[in-house]
Amino acid sequence: MTNEELKIKLDEFLSKNKLSGITLANLNLIIKISELYLDLKEELADVKFSKVDLENYKRLDLLTKIDLVKKIFKKYNYPISNETIDKILSDGTIDFREYEYDKDYLPSIHEGIVAGCAGIKDDFRFISIPNSGYITDAVIFAHELAHYTVGIPENTTDHMVSESLAIFTEFLMEDELSSMGYNEEMKYVRKLRFKNTLNKSYLIRIMAFINVYFTFGDFEYDSYKKLYGKMTEESYNRELSKIKDYFASEIEDLHPQRSLYYIFGCVYGYYMYDKLKSDKAYINNIYQAFSIPYRTDLQSFSKALGIYKIESDLKEAITSYKTELNNETKTL
């Protein structure tokens, strides 16, 4: 693919709104956040994820998991009452998907965790949660209920902000389960979250090249250097080749936007979690950030959380997370 052909593909990609206007308006922010994962990716380079022994995976009954979620949400004063949780449990807003171990669960499993979802269908807001019997369901339940609490996302800013709270809530539930004796399992779940997010870091180069194209109208090395001076020309050519490989696919098959929600939400979620561990009063900053008008704009949302410089403030969160990694264990 020539550079001119790449321009045509990228123009088609953008014309079909594969990246939202909000993402494009915040390209520099997204790129800076994405770059923070590179150090962590190096840290995890030698870590091998072993298969989960499902037959021996810890289990909790459904009522216990519901009570755990209520406990966490009450402990941290989430703006949703037990009565509201009971109501949406009974009226069908929360849909538990049952899994038979031998039939449905195994084909659906993703390294030990069945995912949930929160969405809107025909103006009905719902959350769908697995009821596999495994302790990981409690983490997913907390994640999806956090989405519902802050509001089911309807635009890009909503998605990024909501994903931040949902992943932050995951971390709180993991701590609760760790305190109940499931520490090793929760270490696995937390590292799995970061591993899955790191797998999306290929979007760094895509965002960077789009930014170069927007700024200079080409994909020349000299143009790239003006924005990102660290890369050698040899490395640049390798990266450009990967970009061309990516855009060689049918545009309809490319869906980068959703991955960006997790790239944003994971580091912001851990930043909030890390701050709360050292300062319990920080929960007030969190609730302010998730209120109107702060949550309607990514810059205002960041400042309400105390994030003024992405390179330094969020870098601390990544560094803090790295201290959690068990460097003696290379198989998780």
CA distances to 3, 161, 201, 237 from 241, in Å:
10, 33, 17, 6
d(CA 294, CA 292): 5
> Assign residue 253 a region: left if phi > 0, alpha if psi is -120 to 50, beta otherwise?
alpha
Q: Would you say residue 26 lies in a domain?
A: yes
Looking at residue 282, what is its pLDDT?
Answer: 92
Residue listed under structure tokens 């800013």: 157
116-121 long-range contacts, CB within 8 A, separation 24+? 116/140, 116/141, 116/143, 116/144, 117/144, 118/144, 118/147, 118/148, 118/152, 118/153, 119/152, 120/152, 120/154
Looking at residue 75, what is its pLDDT?
Answer: 92
Q: Would you say residue 193 lies in a domain?
A: yes
Q: Would you say residue 74 lies in a domain?
A: no
d(CA 205, CA 165): 26
Looking at residue 42, what is its pLDDT?
Answer: 62
Q: Would you say residue 230 lies in a domain?
A: yes
For residue 276, the tally of other CB atoms under 10 A from its CB is 18
- Is the entire prediction scored with pTM above 0.95? no
Looking at residue 327, what is its pLDDT?
Answer: 44
Q: Would you say residue 328 lies in a domain?
A: yes
Whole domain around residue 201: which residue ranges?
1-56+156-332
Residue listed under structure tokens 């789009």: 210
Q: Would you say residue 107 lies in a domain?
A: no
Q: Would you say residue 121 lies in a domain?
A: no
What domain count does the chain have? Answer: 1
Looking at residue 93, what is its pLDDT?
Answer: 87
| End-to-end Cα, the chain, rounded Å | 40
- Full pLDDT tens readout for the chain, 332 residues: 889 999 999 999 888 888 888 888 878 887 777 777 766 666 655 555 555 555 566 778 889 999 999 999 999 989 899 999 999 888 888 888 765 544 444 444 444 455 777 777 766 777 888 787 778 888 989 999 998 888 776 677 888 888 889 999 999 999 999 999 888 778 778 777 877 777 777 787 888 888 889 889 999 999 988 887 777 888 888 889 989 998 888 888 888 888 888 888 888 898 999 899 889 999 999 989 888 887 788 888 889 999 888 777 787 777 666 666 544 344 43
